[in-house]
Structures are given as structure tokens and as C-alpha cells.
Amino acid sequence: MLLLNDINPEMSVYYCASLLIKEIENKEGQDIVTLYKTVKDKYHISLKVFAYCLDWLYLIEAAKVDKEGGVFLCT
């Protein structure tokens, strides 16, 4: 799931997480729901893949979510 070898590598968590980072850079601090709606409309990413990407970015300490639900990139 992280890196796919099949015909749809654009659906890998690695690729989709890069799109998520790009959207977080555009507007840091937006809440998770707004971020998901933006990513869903722009890139057609499912909620399941979105959750995997956000989890992965948190695990590698690239992104964090504050108590209010705002998503930020770690520096």
C-alpha cells in the first residue's frame, strides 16, 4: 500500500501523502474535514487513503494535528 507495483501507482500512500503535504503547505492550520474535502475534490482521494496518508505523515513526523483539529507540517 505504501508503494504499489501495479498499474495505479498514483493511488499509493506515498504519492497521495505528497499531495496532502502540498495542500497543507498552501493553508496550514485548516481542520481535517476541510483538508479532506479539498483533497477529495482536487485529487479524488478516498477517506480511507486520506486517513492512511495522514497517519503515515504523523508517524514519520512530517505532520501533526493540534487539539482543535488543525493540521500543520512539522519543521
Q: What are phi and psi of 64, to 5 degrees?
A: -140, 155
Q: pTM, whole model, 2 decimals?
A: 0.85
Instruction: Provide the pairing of β-strand 71-73 with 63-65.
Output: antiparallel
Cα distance between residue 20 and residue 7, in whole Å: 21
Q: Other CB atoms closer than 10 Å to residue 38's CB: what's the count? A: 17
CATH number of 9-73: 1.10.10
Could you tell me what percent of the chain has a pLDDT over 70?
88
pLDDT for the residue 14: 85
The residue ranges of every structural domain in the chain are 9-73
